[in-house]
Structure 1
Amino acid sequence: MKPSRPRRWIAAVATAAACACVAAMAMAQGVPATGAQAQAEPAAAPVAVRYLDLRRPEPIHGDAAAGKAKSEVCAACHGVTGTATTAIFPNLAGQRAEYLYWELVEYKRGAQPESPMTPLATGLSEQDMRDLAAYYASQQRQPAAQDPQATVDPTLAEAGRRLFLNGDPDKGIAPCQGCHGPEALGYPLAAQADGAHLSPYALYPALRGQQSTYLQSRLNAFQQGTLLDSTNDMIMHGVAQRLDAQTIESLAAWLSSLPP
């Protein structure tokens, strides 16, 4: 099936949605103005940043062997090599180290106080988080652990596929592939650093073969605004507000059905 809009529209809508959301939330939270805005407006007094600005993160390096040795507790939920033991926990194998590291930082900051990850992350050192991120990033993706009683509704999954690839212009929903790639493996240029040796696209996670239950709970958290600790969270909050229960379920059904 051909996309309902040209590829340029897909890229433009995804970029515009991300930029507009981050800009609006950043201004509301007190991030200093930049570029033309800084020239047009008087300088404001510094404001303490209450969230993580992840628009241009540095590449993350860690010791994968050390991370494996530190991952014993993690294996209870995420499996020995990063494939979750049940569908409520995310697969970590094959995610980019940058994404995994900053997720741990958010938990350590207490962004999700009710999560079992919060007390576990609190005791991690900076090097621990880098090593764990490097270890799971080095592992090969495996099929998601699905409920043996569950079956994927092909009609629902097809709706999720169309939404992921094409979006829904009538509802203002940008195609998910604009950030997560056409194969749902993350942004295609995520590994490329910019001129300042930063990685602006490294924090868009791979979603292919992810656990369905986890995907739904994560999208619900973004939609409800219970997860707003970083600029990436703010982007997803803006996106998820335009989704309903059926579109969330359809996206999760299609993504979790894909081979890793």
Structure 2
Amino acid sequence: MDGKPVFSMTNRWLVASVFGTLAIAVISAATGFVLLPMAQSDPQFQGIWNAICSAAGVSRHWAQNESIVFPAVDPVSAVAITPRTLAKNNPDAVQRGGILATRCAGCHNASQVIAPLLAGQDAAFVYKQLSDFQSGARTNVIMTSMVKGLTDRDMRDLAQYFASSGQLISGDAKGIGSEPPIVAHGNPTKNVVSCAVCHGGVDHKAGAPFLQGLSASYLSAQLSAFAAGQRHNDAGEQMRNIARNLTKAEINDAASYYARLKDSATDGTRN
């Protein structure tokens, strides 16, 4: 021992440790509170002060004449679905919808693999998707142009027509066999419920599509789009949260299973 006090500026080890710790703290703070937030394009991160406060979770109430609610990057669906939405069949609406649906037959028929079969589909689901295509909450070059000029009544009529034009049945009735685990049980370890809970088989959620008979390529494409955030018209990001937790094998299993289920109609003439 040389008798020098430990806590002294003459102790080079103390000085080195103190300044080293301070340097690490400054670099970490600059990276976490300034550099990383400023790399984001969202409005709340614009400017160093906003970046620091946003990273720290501080409210921006000090900003005069500025809303603290920031708009979503992408348009979201404005359609609220309840169990009563289009639940009552209207014969006049079905007749009007049948006339409008003549434009849909070229794509939405049993022979197509890139467009969903709509015969027997849930009316609320069809109405919501048409509305979302019109508002931009869901995008598709063909569908965006097809819904231009449709009134709200037109979309409701189309939805009721398609819902009444077929009768989708379960895979058990066709002797398909047991469902894959993701369809029958989901994946509890990832907080993913079974597909059958919302899409028919066990139960049906209002506004959720029936998946029986839809092509494997269409279903896998939609699940992948939800997982990547390219499709974002699901209420509360429910499908996005589910799809992000699905493996590629689970997506393929679910898509292949539902594609094997057939519509009860065999004449192949439904739109």
SS in 2 for 1:217: helix
2:261 counterpart residue number: 258
Match status 1:182 vs 2:201:
yes
Report the counterpart of residue 209 of structure 1 in structure 2: 213
Superposition CA RMSD, Å: 2.8
**Deviation of the 1:177 alpha carbon:** 1.9
Q: Paired residues, what number?
A: 184
Q: 2:132 aligns with which of 103, 106, 119?
A: 106
Describe the shift of the 1:179–1:114 C-alpha distance in structure 2 as closer, same or farther (beyond 3 A).
closer
**Counterparts of 1:141 and 1:211 in 2: how far apart (Å)?**
17
Change (3 A) 1:212 1:178: same
Secondary structure, in 3 states, of the residue corresponding to 1:75? coil
After superposition, the C-alpha distances for 1:93-129 in whole angstroms (9 at most, x for unaligned) are 1112111101100000123334311111122111110
Q: Supply the distance in 1 between the matched residues of 2:79 and 2:152 (Cα, whole angstroms).
A: 17
Higher RCO, 1 or 2 (CA under 8 Å, sep at least 6)?
A: 1
Q: Share of identical aligned residues, percent? A: 29
Of the structure 1 ranges 212-221 and 170-179, higher mean CA displacement relative to structure 2 is found in 170-179
Counterpart selection for 1:219 from 223, 226, 229: 223
Q: Tell me the CA shift for residue 133 of structure 1.
A: 0.7
Q: 1:166 is aligned with what amino acid?
A: H
SS of corresponding position for 2:254: helix
User: What amino acid does structure 2 have at the position aligned with 1:246?
Assistant: A
What does the per-residue CA deviation read over 1:56-111, in whole Å, with 9 as the maximum and x for residues that have no partner? 435226611111111121111013xxxx4311110111112111101100000123
| Contact kept? 1:94, 1:137, Cα under 8 Å | yes
Decide whether aligned partners of structure 1 residues 95 and 114 sit closer, same or farther in structure 2, where only a CA change above 3 A counts. Answer: closer
Residue type of the alignment partner of 1:248: I
1:240 aligns with 2:265: no
Question: Which structure 1 residue ranges, 4+ long, deviate > 6 Å from structure 2?
Answer: 44-49
TM-score (norm 1): 0.62
Match of 2:235 in 1: 231
1:58-73 mapped onto 2 (5 Å cutoff): 58-60=84-86, 63-73=93-103
How far off is 1:206 after superposition?
0.9
Q: How far apart, in 2, do the equivalents of 1:96 and 1:73 lie?
A: 19
**Residues in 2 aligned to 1:238 and 1:223: alpha-carbon distance in whole angstroms:** 7
SS in 1 for 2:161: helix
Aligned to 2:111: 85
Aligned to 2:160: 134
Q: Which residue of 2 aligns with 1:165?
A: 184
Q: Which runs of 5+ in 1 are unaligned?
A: 1-43, 144-153, 188-200
DSSP 3-state at the match of 1:170: helix
Q: Structure 2-normalised TM-score?
A: 0.60
Q: CA deviation at 1:161?
A: 2.0
Conserved 8 A contact 1:54-1:230:
no
Deviation of 1:46 after TM superposition, in Å, equals 8.3
User: How many angstroms does 1:236 deviate by?
Assistant: 0.3
Alpha-carbon distance between aligned partners in 1 of 2:189 and 2:201, rounded to the nearest angstrom:
21
The one-letter amino acid paired with 1:204 is A
Assess if the C-alpha contact under 8 Å between 1:107 and 1:122 holds in 2: no
**Residue 96, structure 1, aligned to residue 122, structure 2:** yes
Structure 2 portions without partners, runs of 5+? 1-66, 170-175, 264-271
1: CA distance, partners of 2:81 / 2:130: 17
The answer (yes or no) to whether the contact 1:96–1:205 under 8 Å persists in 2 is yes
